[in-house]
Amino acid sequence: MEYPDHGRLAVAAASGVAVVAGTFLAVGFSPRWVVVAVAQTVLYSLPDALLASGIQGLGSTAQPLLLVGSALLAVGLFGGLALLALRVARGADRERAETVFLVGLAQTLAAFLLTVSPVAAAVGGALGGAAVGLAGRAATAPADGERRRGLLRATGVAAVGVAAAGAGPLARAVAAVTAADDGDTAEAERDPLVDRLLGVAADRSFALPGAEPLVSESFYVVDKNPADPRVDAGEWSLTVTGAVAEEVSVDLADLREREIEHRFATLRCVGDPLNGRKTDTALWTGVSVASLLAEAGVDADGCCVMVRAADDYYQEFPLSALADGFLAWGMNGRPLPRGHGAPVRALIPGHWGEINVKWLTEIEVLEEEATGYWEERGWHGTGPVSTVAKLHHLEVDDGTVSVGGHAYAGTRGVAAVEVSTDGGDTWTDAELTERLPGPTPADADPDDPAAVAGEATDAWRGWRYEYEADTDHDVVVRAVERDGTVQPREERDPFPSGASGWVRRTVHP
Ligand SMILES: Nc1nc2c(c(=O)[nH]1)N[C@H]1C(S)=C(S)[C@@H](COP(=O)(O)O)O[C@H]1N2
Ligand SMILES: [Mo]
The residue type of 280 is D
How many angstroms separate the most distant Cα atoms in the chain?
Answer: 87
Task: Please report, for residues 150, 207, 404, 467, the alpha-carbon distance to residue 461 in angstroms, rounded to integers and kept in the order given.
Answer: 65, 13, 11, 20
Task: Report the 10 Å Cβ neighbour count for 417.
Answer: 28
CB of 269 within 6 A of ligand 1: the answer is yes
pLDDT at 54: 58
CA of 279 to the centre of ligand 2 (A): 10
Residue nearest to atom 6 of ligand 1 (CA): 223
pLDDT at 89: 84
Phi and psi torsions of 317, nearest 5°: -160, 170
CA-wise closest residue to 233 among 312, 364, 307, 329 = 329
CA-56 nearest atom, ligand 1: 12
Radius of gyration for the alpha carbons in the chain, expressed in angstroms and rounded: 27
Residue nearest to atom 16 of ligand 1 (CA): 222
Ligand 1 pocket, mutate which of 354, 362, 460 (most atoms under 8 A from CB)? 354
Task: Report the 10 Å Cβ neighbour count for 195.
Answer: 12
pLDDT at 413: 98
The residue type of 260 is I
CB of 175 within 6 A of ligand 1: the answer is no
* Span 104-149, pLDDT tens digits: 999 999 999 998 889 999 999 999 999 988 877 776 666 666 666 6
pLDDT at 149: 64
Residue nearest to atom 7 of ligand 1 (CA): 223
CA of 279 to the centre of ligand 1 (A): 12
Q: Measured on CA atoms in the order 377, 380, 383, 386, is the torsion positive or negative?
A: negative
pLDDT at 93: 75
CB of 317 within 6 A of ligand 1: the answer is no
CA of 401 to the centre of ligand 2 (A): 33
Q: Which domains can be identified in the chain, with CATH numbers? A: 5-175 (no CATH), 192-377 (3.90.420.10), 388-507 (2.60.40.650)
> pTM here?
0.81
CA of 342 to the centre of ligand 2 (A): 17
CA-220 nearest atom, ligand 1: 21
Q: ω into residue 437 within 30 of 0, thus cis?
A: no
The residue type of 357 is V
Q: What is the spatial distance between Cα 81 and Cα 125, in angstroms, rounded to a whole number?
A: 11
| Ligand with the closest atom to the CA of 60 | 1
CB of 357 within 6 A of ligand 1: the answer is yes
CB of 359 within 6 A of ligand 1: the answer is yes
CB of 356 within 6 A of ligand 1: the answer is yes
pLDDT at 177: 41
CB of 223 within 6 A of ligand 1: the answer is yes
pLDDT at 75: 95
CA-179 nearest atom, ligand 1: 19
Do the Cβ atoms of 326 and 287 come closer than 8 Å? yes
CB of 354 within 6 A of ligand 1: the answer is yes
pLDDT, tens digit only, all 509 positions of the chain: 566 666 788 889 999 999 999 999 998 888 889 999 998 888 777 765 566 555 666 656 677 788 889 999 999 999 999 999 988 888 777 788 888 999 999 999 999 999 888 999 999 999 999 998 887 777 666 666 666 666 656 666 666 666 665 665 556 545 544 443 444 444 557 899 999 999 999 999 999 999 999 999 999 999 988 888 999 999 999 999 999 999 999 999 999 999 999 999 999 999 999 999 999 999 999 999 999 999 999 998 889 999 999 999 999 999 999 999 999 999 999 999 999 999 999 999 999 999 999 999 999 999 999 999 999 989 999 999 999 999 999 999 999 999 999 999 999 999 999 999 998 899 999 999 999 999 999 999 999 999 999 999 999 999 999 999 999 999 999 999 999 999 999 999 999 999 999 999 999 99
Residue nearest to atom 2 of ligand 1 (CA): 358
Q: What is the spatial distance between Cα 437 and Cα 198, in angstroms, rounded to a whole number?
A: 10
CB of 56 within 6 A of ligand 1: the answer is yes
CA of 40 to the centre of ligand 2 (A): 18
Count CA within 13 A, CB hemisphere, residue 56.
31
Residue nearest to atom 9 of ligand 1 (CA): 223
CB of 284 within 6 A of ligand 1: the answer is no
CA-223 nearest atom, ligand 1: 7
* Span 394-419, pLDDT tens digits: 999 999 999 999 999 999 999 999 99
CA of 201 to the centre of ligand 1 (A): 24
Residue nearest to atom 24 of ligand 1 (CA): 357
Q: What is the spatial distance between Cα 315 and Cα 306, in angstroms, rounded to a whole number?
A: 5
